[in-house]
Structure 1
Amino acid sequence: MATNSGRKALNQEEEYGLSAAAAPRLTKENSARVDVDDVWHYLGRYGRYQVINILLLAFSVWPQSVSILSGVFVGMSVNHRCHNDEAASLQLSDYSNGSEIIMGECTAQVVVNTSSGPRVDQETKCSKFQYDSDVPTSFLAEWDLVCGSETLGQLPQMLTMLGMMVGAVTLPPVGDRFGRKTLGLASHFCHLLVSVGLAYVPAFEFFLLLKFLSGAFNQGFMVTQFIMLMELLPTELRTFMSLLATMLWVFSVLSLVPFAYLFMGYNWRTLQLAYGLISLSSIALLCMDESLRWLLVNRKVKRASRLLKKACRHNGKSYETLLKRVLREDVAATNGENHHPLLQNNYTNKEGVIGVGRDVGDETAKINPSFRDVLRSNTMRNISFIVTYSWMVSSLTYYGITLLSTSLAGDPYLNFLIGGLLEIPSTICMFICLSRFGRKTVAIGFTGAAGVSLLAAVLVATLAAKTYSLSLVQTALTLFGKFCISASFNTMWLYTPELYPTNLRNVGTGMSSMGARLAASASPFFSILARKAIWAPGALFSAACFLCVFLLSFLPETKFRELPSTIAEVEAWYVHDRQAKKSKNGSLTIPGQFTKVIQAPDNDDGDDIDEDKDGGGQDKDFK
């Protein structure tokens, strides 16, 4: 009996990796407590494994702008006039020899020359049109979506945004459930089929349907692969990751121009086919691994172990040493050292990153939360409302600024290129600000600046027609507004995933993206409003920005904090930040548990926080 008991104890030690003689093992019981940031630090922040996966991910997201912006070129406005056949409906013989038929863009007119000047005596709306080119270079020309049908020409873009909204809600939860890579591959494959299919649709109705599906599948891989990129880097590099993701977006947008210029004068279907084939770049995703953080949180131990062994092999590190490093806190927790069911072994490392140990056994720290848990938590519910509203305001303000801006003269391809290049200085400025200030501060600053700029542009717009100098001021304010709202939007792409635990990160980001797409799909209504009152859209957007600034002030700061794995961690942040406003020492107090004082993150020597242990059920003070 004693022998059997001894063997059983030994087996338990080996299972949890606690035996000093035996090598540590990754198990379902300890996998969710692995500090992923510690894994990346040991492997090297810019290790060969991470660099390879980042390059593969960067190549695979190339088609992210295709479904959103390809309509700018495949649906480009075309010069047109009434077809000559329309002249048959006009009885020119009833008029004198001085009369003539003039074919306009939308109407055919009989103009009679009189002593007092030309007079339009007869006019008819055209049902057939002819264009500058015999080849339909735009789907507007193929289906005659001009004049009275021009509003139908805006439906593809609207349905694309609505599709993105639906995809943002329905597809990201699939990634949380079945894996980031699985959803990314499936969405890329479907996006490829739909994008190529758009080049062969026989009717406009089918074109609309496929545009909707294209937008939906776009969100399936766009949101998911952004999350994969975030989870591939340690906490202190998330700002760099945001810069990288934005630059990838800019590259994707700018790459549309060479294709459009190369196929200028060709049938629009040829250009659409070329855009669709860009999705073949998704083959790079086949060579990537699943997100390590997702594997560990969902206790996919075998796959996580294979991934870690592969990463160690690529980076020249020891797998056994890695496990000893990342599992050492579990040994202390099992022995009863510094163990707490909500927050365990908190520390500040050299980079100023606040680490939070986790215990999956606590009831409030569920490893597999559902969206119902978000609704049940007041903190998560408030966060979800604020970030979704912020995304909606960013989207509305962006299109509002575009609406109120003066159009650039010159070649449309060059104009599109300039608009894309404007994103680069905006991104660099955002990166500099994020490196010095918190996410919340940067989001508030850029959103507020965009609101002020847009309000000023609207005020100037009412006077711009009087002087040329005022019109230049309006243009400058508009470009500055676009600069600011672009930076604000990119900041929210970084900020939002940091506010959600691992198994709700896709859902939370997708829900915010859904709000943005819903707002974007409503933009045509504001153009109608602008024709009635030019000041109204700008005033509404500016007011929305100022309200957004107020609401953002209630969010917790995420800079220098690891990505949360549980809702309880986010709630602890919220409590800490609220109490930090009331207390100069920034202490985190959980009633009946313990108090933690966080070392300022700008401590140059990076010393860990010392721990003073108290006996019994007394609180613990960390200094």
Structure 2
Amino acid sequence: MSQARPTFQPVHRTAKMPKAHTEVDPLLDALGGRGRYQLLQYFVSKIYAFTAAFQLLNFVYVARNIPHTCGQPNNISDIFTAIDDDAFTINNSDIFYDKCSIRVVANISGDAETKQLPCLYGYSFDERKELSIISDMGIVCDRAPLKGLGQTLLIVGQGVGAAVLPIFSDRFGRRPVHLISHMIVLALGVGVAFSPTFTVFLVLRLILGLFQQGIVLTDATIGIEVFPTRYRKLVAFLSNIGWCTCHLFLPLVAYLLRDYSWRILQLGCCSVSAVIILQFFFLEESLRWLVANGNPKQIKRLLKKAARISRVDYQHVLDVYDSLHSGHEQLDTKKEQEGTLSKEQADALLTEPVVHTVDDETHSLLDFIKDKRLGLNVAVLWFIWFTDSMTYFGLYFTSDALAGDRFVNVVLLIVVQMPSSVAIYYLVDSIGRKKTCIFLHLITGFGLVGATVVRELMGNTGTGAIISTAFSCFGFFGIFGAFGALFFYTPEIFPTNIRNVGLGTSSAFSRFGGMLGPFAGLLSEYVTWAPGAVFTCCCLAATAMVIVLPETKGKELPQTLSDVKGWYVTTDDKRRMDSIAKDGDADETPGQHGL
């Protein structure tokens, strides 16, 4: 009796195994790669930066400190009535109106005695008090600690928004979340200008920060999804330069409105949000998101419009899309046949060219984290975002480079940061994402150590101040560049359906660092070298941790969780799979080792 031939289970060789993901780059290339449509979408989305930057940074002008002293009473005798001491009289006393107290010095029997009173009669400001909300609402002296809440609560709101809003962006699309957030930020910005009390001002700033992240994070995702893989470094470069350029307009607007009230300045900062009109008419949904979420009718409508704008043949674009779409059916057919074919037939079938399309995977960030290796990636990213934000804002509040005129400060900071964008552009593809991040964090650490050592050895005046400022500039250069690299490196590590959530949670962790950064100034009052030491240690730790992240240079944006795992299958299991294939062992398949 002849023995039944066992059903052959083919070996899934890494090099030949078809990948279930959508290669969207062919579609983008068919539209011109860097064609008119892509450029239009990119620049229309980037005009958000005026709104985001102005509302984030205008606090330094809206809530600036105006020098003041205690106000004088209408009748000088009221002061001695408040002292209630017969030894103090108008004839034997001198009155000094200090910043937060009224000091009365009396000559009593040849001895000088002093009494101090709070500012019972209000405050006298060197400029009109309505020029700043701090003076306008009396957030001075014993209420002065409340001033920082205006910026701190905005950062808290950013953290909440970064954690929550990307969920809606990945679920409902980039465009609706971006536009709705932009409209709300505009409305809240106007509301801030009409705040009747400081409490209302703080609440509105908190909510404003939440929705500010809605436009920042969706734009970061749109920018990286609209171009093919080879243009990512150009996207990062233009994004950083665009952000810095928008910053340059803020001190200009603040200078032009310097003689008007803080409310007018706030409204002036809101006026740039009028660019939302352009976004309503020209901003489209991300093609990658549409493909990943499967809506052929909407995709074809978008492709037709994009082909017209880019002046390319729509039929050719449609043919490319149809080949991608039909590739899914080919792949399903092959999978169904695998279990019944001979080894030779299965190998021949697996080696046939297939245009791949998205599978039906639907995953959450939790699925990503559950995998040990991918979860480690997330933890490392969160720490690096935390470190970079804390270091950036810490340097902002402690660097001597920021001393001086309030209009010049921001300009100096931008001038220092702009070369970082150029460095990123030339480094990310020449040495890769990982080495770029390592290099920039090392520069930051070098600047921090140098500034700290010089201040300790030479002091913070004269030559010491100049040298320490130069080292601080290195720190700004490095940390701004590291932040810029993270903004496009992070989305490359997450698949499409959780890309914005991955970027959002990373940004949320950075807000914790942003809230701690301003306390560096307070810490330096007690231990001058402590902030530099803390920031340096964190940057060095981040430098070491970057090593465990995958290198995404030259790789297409992953569409599914399987795509990300495939990076490690290719690198970690290739030798094992080759060995299995050589020995004819069909009991193991790739993707089962630690994943």
TM range (shorter): 0.7 to 0.9
Matched with 2:307 is 312
Match of 2:45 among 25, 48, 57: 57
CA distance in 2, matches of 1:553, 1:306: 43
CA distance in 2, matches of 1:472, 1:130: 35
Q: Does 1:121 align with 2:85?
A: no
Q: Distance in 2 between matches of 1:180 and 1:336?
A: 29
| Superposed CA offset, 1:441-474 (max 9, x none) | 1011111221232122212211232873233221
Identify if the C-alpha distance between structure 1 residues 503 and 497 changes in structure 2 by more than 3 Å, giving closer, same or farther. same
After superposition, residues 300-379 of structure 1 pair within 5 angstroms as 300-328=295-323, 358=356, 360-361=358-359, 367-379=361-373
Gaps of 5+ in 1: 1-31, 348-354, 580-586, 596-613
Cα 1:113–1:411 change in 2 (3 A) is farther
Query: In structure 2, how many angstroms separate the alpha carbons of the residues matched to 1:518 and 1:193?
Result: 26
Q: Which residue of 2 aligns with 1:89?
A: 79
- For 1:324 and 1:293, the matched residues in 2 are separated by 17
Q: TM-score, normalised by structure 1?
A: 0.82
Q: Which residue of 2 aligns with 1:255?
A: 249
Q: 2:532 aligns with which of 538, 541, 565?
A: 538
Contact kept? 1:173, 1:506, Cα under 8 Å: yes
Q: Which residue of 2 aligns with 1:297?
A: 292
Q: Give, in angstroms, the shift of residue 156 of structure 1.
A: 0.8
Equivalenced residue count is 550
Q: Is 1:238 aligned with 2:232?
A: yes
Report Cα offsets for 1:135-159 as digits up to 9, x if no partner: 4111100111112211101001000
**Correspondence for 2:150 among 146, 149, 156:** 156
Between the two structures, name the one with larger relative contact order (CA 8 Å, sep ≥ 6).
2
Q: Judging changes above 3 Å, is the alpha-carbon distance between structure 1 residues 269 and 467 closer, same or farther for their aligned structure 2 residues?
A: closer
User: 1:478-493 counterparts in 2 under 5 A?
Assistant: 478-493=472-487
| Residue 212, structure 1, aligned to residue 200, structure 2 | no
> Deviation at 1:325?
3.2
Secondary structure class of the residue paired with 1:478: helix
| Greater mean alpha carbon deviation, residues 464-473 or residues 564-573 | 464-473
What is the Cα deviation at residue 183 of structure 1? 0.3
Aligned to 1:447: 441
Q: Distance in 1 between matches of 2:512 and 2:59?
A: 18
Aligned to 2:374: 380
The answer to whether the Cα contact below 8 Å between 2:401 and 2:469 also exists between their aligned partners in 1 is no
Which of 221, 224, 244 matches 2:215?
221
CA deviations 1:490-547 (Å, max 9, x no partner) are 0001100000000101000000110111211123433322211111121111111111
Select 2:26's aligned residue among 32, 35, 38: 38
Query: RMSD over aligned Cα, in angstroms?
Result: 3.2
Return the alpha-carbon distance in structure 2 between the equivalents of residues 325 and 246 of structure 1.
Answer: 33
8 Å CA contact 2:495–2:560 kept in 1: the answer is yes
- Summarize deviations over 1:290-324 as a string: whole Å, max 9, x none: 10010111011111110111112222322332233
Moved more, 424-433 or 181-190: 424-433
User: What does residue range 182-193 of structure 1 map to in structure 2 within 5 Å?
Assistant: 182-193=176-187
1:87-133 Cα shifts (integer Å, max 9, x gaps)? 633459834746321111111111346999x9561112225212123
Displacement, 1:35? 2.4
Change (3 A) 1:515 1:318: same
- Summarize deviations over 1:222-277 as a string: whole Å, max 9, x none: 10011111111010100000111111211221111121111112110011111122
Equivalent pair of 1:375/1:381 in contact (CA under 8 Å) = yes
* 2:148 partner SS: helix
503-512 or 48-57, which deviates more: 48-57
537, 542, 547: which one aligns with 2:541: 547
Q: 1:594 to 1:272 in 2, by over 3 A?
A: farther
Q: Is the 8 A contact 1:401 1:482 kept in 2?
A: yes
Structure 1 residues 369 and 468: alpha-carbon distance in aligned structure 2, compared to 1, 3 A threshold: same
Point out the more displaced range, 53-62 or 465-474: 465-474
Match of 1:516 in 2: 510
Rounded to whole Å, the distance in 1 between the matches of 2:402 and 2:461 is 18
CA distance in 2, matches of 1:62, 1:189: 13
Q: Which residue of the partner structure matches residue 554 of structure 2?
A: 560
For residue 140 of structure 2, the aligned residue among 138, 146, 150 is: 146
Letter in structure 2 aligned against 1:84:
Q
Residues 397 and 518 of structure 2 are in contact (CA less than 8 Å); yes or no, is this contact kept in structure 1? no
Q: CA deviation at 1:55?
A: 2.5
Q: Could you tell me how far apart the structure 2 residues matched to 1:299 and 1:272 are?
A: 43
Q: Secondary structure at the match of 2:458?
A: coil
- When residues 312 and 408 of structure 1 are mapped into structure 2, their CA distance, relative to the original with a 3 A threshold, is closer
Native 8 Å contact 1:464 1:474 kept in 2: no
Mapped partners of 2:139, 2:89: distance in 1: 33
8 Å CA contact 1:242, 1:494 repeated in 2: yes
When residues 207 and 589 of structure 1 are mapped into structure 2, their CA distance, relative to the original with a 3 A threshold, is: farther
Partner of 1:4: none
Larger displacement relative to structure 2 (332-341 or 189-198)? 332-341
Q: Distance in 1 between matches of 2:147 and 2:587?
A: 70
For residue 68 of structure 2, the aligned residue among 54, 59, 80 is: 80
Could you tell me how far apart the structure 1 residues matched to 2:461 and 2:215 are? 48
2:414 and 2:187 mapped to 1: Cα distance? Answer: 27
The one-letter amino acid of 1:35's match is E
Q: Secondary structure at the match of 1:454?
A: helix
Q: Against the structure 1 CA distance between its residues 589 and 285, is the aligned structure 2 distance closer, same or farther, given a 3 Å change threshold?
A: farther
Deviation at 1:67, TM superposition (A): 2.2
- Matched residues in 1 for 2:274 and 2:113: separation? 56
2:35 is the counterpart of 1:47? yes
Task: Kindly provide the amino acid, as one letter, of the partner of residue 80 in structure 1.
Answer: H
- Tell whether the 8 Å contact from 1:556 to 1:577 is kept in structure 2 after alignment: no
CA distance change for structure 1 residues 530 and 330 in 2, over 3 Å: closer, same or farther?
Answer: same
Find the residue that maps to 1:81 and give its secondary structure: strand
- Is 1:416 aligned to residue 405 of structure 2? no
Shift of the alpha carbon at 1:346? Answer: 12
- Larger helix percent: 2
Q: Deviations over 1:566-612 (max 9, x none)?
A: 11211222344557xxxxxxx576589879xxxxxxxxxxxxxxxxx
Alpha-carbon spacing, 1:264–1:334, altered in 2? closer, same or farther (3 Å): closer
What amino acid maps onto 1:123 in structure 2?
Q
- 1:57/1:284 contact within 8 Å kept: no
Counterpart in 2 of 1:131?
A: 125
TM-aligned CA distance change 1:332 to 1:465, over 3 Å: closer
Change (3 A) 1:315 1:96: closer
Q: Name stretches of at least 5 consecutive residues in structure 2 with no aligned partner.
A: 1-19, 337-348, 591-595
- Higher alpha-carbon deviation: 198-207 or 411-420: 411-420
Please say if 1:436 is aligned against 2:430.
yes
Query: Match of 1:259, as an amino acid?
Result: V
Provide the rounded CA distance (Å) in 1 between the counterparts of 2:44 and 2:460. Answer: 54
Query: Identity of paired residues, percent?
Result: 30
Change over 3 Å in CA distance of 1:152–1:108 after alignment to 2: same
Distance 1:278 1:324 in 2: 41
Q: Which residue of 2 aligns with 1:68?
A: 56
